[in-house]
Amino acid sequence: MAQISSAAREILVEEKDEPVGVAAVGLPKSIPMSESEVTTQPAISLQRKRPHGPDLSVPERKKKPPASDVTIDLTTLPDTKYYFENGLRKVEPYHFTWTTYAKGRWVGRMIEEVFLEEFFSVNEEVTKARVHADPCNVFVNGIRSNVQHKIKNSDYIAHYMHRHEMPVTAEPIKIIAETDDMLVVDKPASIPVHPCGRFRMNSVTFILAVEFGRTGLRIAHRLDRLTSGLLIFTKNIAASQGIHVQMEDRSVRKEYIARVAGEFPAEQIVCSEPIDCVNIRAGVYQVRASGKHSVTSFDRLSFDPESNTSIVHCKPRTGRTHQIRVHLQHIGYPIVNDPFYGAKSTFTGKDAAVEYGKDDALGPAFADECQKQLFTKCTTLPDRPWIDPKCPECWLDFADPKPEDMRIDLHAWKYEGPGWKFATELPFWAKDVTVLPADDPAPLCGDNPAPLCGDNPAPSTVKTPPLLW
């Protein structure tokens, strides 16, 4: 593992746009270490000190920038550190300020109601305990308030709390390629690409900043947390805009490997069913006539009769959320260990999943299923330096998640665009595949459109700017 340089220790951390609509502010500034301290500290250790409390400044509200302009710019690391235990990467709990502007659907509702419904913690009981643990640490427009405050339009809400992150695999992130314009890595399963939910320091962007000193990165595409494989970052706006146009123009060919339940047919299957989001809070998608056009082709690589599973080569021709997982479920060969769409999932894909805000029973069910972590209640507080007696989660003893609960057997294998191509090694569960698919002879959409381009075989009218690598 790479040692942290003094420059890396001093970089600022300011997450401007987390997926749930919150931003992190008010992080304590780092304290420089002496030379003797540096030589004795572990590679990812940061000097600890008492938290300074929340930053109550209200930033100017700006229009959300295009995806290609969003950077993960990190300047002060939070007052915490990683540690490794039982094959897992863990983060010592730390004080943190959640902030967000009021959403339209929140106006007229109490903060307590919104917290319980949309900012789900370990389970419903712990979520309620956290909301009421220290209600004085809720601020609206920089002024101390309480959870009974009725939200108004443009309110800026801050919640100062003791944050506990879920562990992820200790498997290292591998750098596949790097140039002046891009960084390509092999992401292990269980690590989210960017901060979300109960993950922040345990995200690819933070790990790259802390352990590799890579900051100012732009995410070219995303992978689900439980998915492993190839992940591309760009380092400047020109490269970012170039690859985003290529993605939109469907001139990027993507190839995935999946392990599915059952004996997959020997002939190719192409699924072109539309996909729609049926529950915003749970993040559940389903084949629906009202959805967006989606096309994925599947080819069997091998079949294991003993486990009754098949290794399948997947080529998504469009880029919808959960596309491969939803299409495999729809055609009857779900990914074996997918908690959302797998063979043992509570959601079959044919359920009449309710829309958000009507009967949101799916939300807590999926939150428990996909971020589950067993725990027991403590009668006395553990003797740990980071303990906060007011924090409900500090009174819980969390069990380590099982390895099989930290991944799904879906791997991003190859990405190819005009003038560039990258690939990872096969995942361990597909190492026995002896016959690999040949490189696709069909031209890329952006070069010379062909039927492979999905629903738009006509020549592209979008001019793709040249990438810099």
The mean pLDDT value of the chain amounts to 77
- Residues forming beta bridges with residue 161, ordered by sequence position: 96
pLDDT of residue 248: 87
224 given a catalytic annotation? yes
Query: At residue 146, does pLDDT exceed 50?
Result: yes
Name the residue among 274, 272, 320, 312 with its Cα closest to residue 296. 272
Sequence-distant (6+) residues with CB within 8 A of 35 are none
d(CA 159, CA 134): 10
Q: What would the two tokens of residue 74 be? A: 């990190």
pLDDT of residue 460: 30
pLDDT of residue 132: 75
Do residues 323 and 329 lie in contact, with contact meaning Cβ atoms separated by under 8 Å? no
**Helix (H, G, I), strand (E, B), or coil: what is residue 142?**
coil
The number of beta carbons lying within 10 Å of the beta carbon of residue 290 is 9
- Mean pLDDT over residues 383-396, rounded? 86
Higher pLDDT, 344 or 217: 217
Per-residue pLDDT of 221-252, as tens digits, reads 989 999 999 999 999 999 999 999 998 888 89
Q: What CA–CA distances, in Å, run from 65 to 22, 156, 259, 356, 406? A: 15, 19, 37, 26, 32
Question: What's the pTM value of the predicted model, to 2 decimals?
Answer: 0.76
Name the residue among 346, 349, 384 with its Cα closest to residue 367. 346
Per-residue pLDDT of 346-361, as tens digits, reads 666 665 544 433 444 4
358 exposure class (CB count in 10 Å sphere: 0-12, 13-18, 19+): exposed
d(CA 100, CA 388): 24
Higher pLDDT, 380 or 313: 313
Name the residue among 318, 276, 278 with its Cα closest to residue 294. 318
Side chain identity at 14, as an amino acid letter? E
- What is the DSSP secondary-structure string of 241-267? HHHHHHHHTT--EEEEEEEEES---SS
Do residues 429 and 407 lie in contact, with contact meaning Cβ atoms separated by under 8 Å? no
Query: At residue 393, does pLDDT exceed 60?
Result: yes
Catalytic residue, candidates 55, 224, 249, 338? 224
3-state helix, strand, coil in the chain (%, to 5): 20, 25, 55
d(CA 64, CA 114): 22
Q: At 455, is the pLDDT very low, low, confident or very high (cuts 50, 70, 90)?
A: very low
Sequence-distant (6+) residues with CB within 8 A of 36 are none
**Helix (H, G, I), strand (E, B), or coil: what is residue 408?**
coil
Q: What would the two tokens of residue 195 be? A: 């901060």
d(CA 386, CA 391): 11
pLDDT of residue 24: 33
Q: What would the two tokens of residue 378 be? A: 């403590």
Per-residue pLDDT of 24-75, as tens digits, reads 333 233 333 333 333 333 344 334 444 556 666 666 666 666 655 555 555 4
Q: What would the two tokens of residue 371 be? A: 């971020």
d(CA 220, CA 197): 21
**DSSP tag of 459:** P
pLDDT of residue 378: 83
Name the residue among 112, 111, 93, 118 with its Cα closest to residue 395. 93
- Residues forming beta bridges with residue 304, ordered by sequence position: 309
Q: What CA–CA distances, in Å, run from 28 to 12, 45, 76, 79, 261? A: 10, 15, 7, 7, 48
Buried b (16+ CB within 10 A) or exposed e, 27-60: bbebeebeeeebeebeebbbeeeebeebbbebee
pLDDT of residue 72: 56
pLDDT of residue 276: 92
